[in-house]
Each structure stands twice: as structure tokens, then as C-alpha cells.
Amino acid sequence: QQTLEQERWQREMIEQRYTQYTEDDEETGEYATDEEEEMSPMFPSGEMAIEVFELAENEDTLSPVEMDPEKLVHKFKELQIKHAVTEAEIQQLKRKLQCLEQEKARWRAEKAQLEQSVEENKERMEKLEGYWMEAQNLCQAVDEHLKETQAQYQTLERKYSKAKRLIKEYQQK
């Protein structure tokens, strides 16, 4: 009896799923998105409970004439659900691929921008190094000029002191 209840429950779920997909398909021409499926009342917890039924190998070899019409309808609904689920997965993967391609393009653009920034900074650094070397050379030249000026000042200071002393001696004589 429990197996019958499980089968009945599965059949109801399949029919609800089938109804949802066909309604979505009829209304918009598209299948329900993952977000819509997660929000559906069938799955209040938000979990996706998709059951895909594998067909037995011996069923594949039977012709539709040999099968019970109810089984054919059931098999057809299963295949439609499988198809709808596969289509939804394909659409989801396409969206994901598109997002990843956009992300890849963004990363490439950012990489190019960073490489350009590195080149600009390298050029700027070389320019600043040139200015630094120029400033050092100028400082050395100014330092040498200062030393020469100090030497001249000391020489003149000595001459001035000597001249002052000679004038004093001359005035005293």
C-alpha cells in the first residue's frame, strides 16, 4: 500500500510539473525559470525536487501498439518533463556561460588597464629618476661652488686681517 501511495504521489507530482511547464509554455513560449520553480507551492522549502525517470531497456524495444495507452501517456508525459527540464538546464547554462563570458571580458579589460597603468608608472618612475639624478648633479655643482666661495672668503678674510694689521702698524709709526 505504501508503494501505491508513493507511485500515486509521484504521478501527482509529475502531472503538476507537467501542468506547470505546459502552462508556462502556453503563456510565454518559455519554460519556468529556476527562481519560479523554487517559489512554486509544490516545493515550499525552495528545494528543487526533479525526478527524471529512466526508461527500462525492454520498454524501448516495445512498439507503441504493444503498450497500454495509459503507459504511453505516462511515458509521453515523462519524456515531456525530461525535455522541459533539459531545456531549462540548457537555458540556465547559457545564461551562466554568458555571465562568465562577460566576466572574462571585464577581467581582460581590467588586465589591459592595469598593464597600461604599470607602463605609465614605469615611464613616470624613469622620468623621476632622471629628475633625481639631475637634482643630485645640481647639488654637487652648488656644493663645489659653495666650497670655492668659502675658500675665497677665507682668503679674502686673511688678506683683510693682514691689511688691517699693516694699516695699524703704519699708523703707529
pTM flag (> 0.75)? no
| Residue 46 predicted with pLDDT over 60 | no
d(CA 108, CA 113): 9
Identify the CA nearest to 48 among candidates 17, 4, 7.
Answer: 17
Question: What angle in degrees, to the nearest 10, is found between the helix axes of 69-172 and 2-28?
Answer: 70
112 band by pLDDT with thresholds 50, 70 and 90: very high
Q: What percent of the chain has pLDDT over 70?
A: 70
pLDDT at residue 108, rounded to an integer: 97
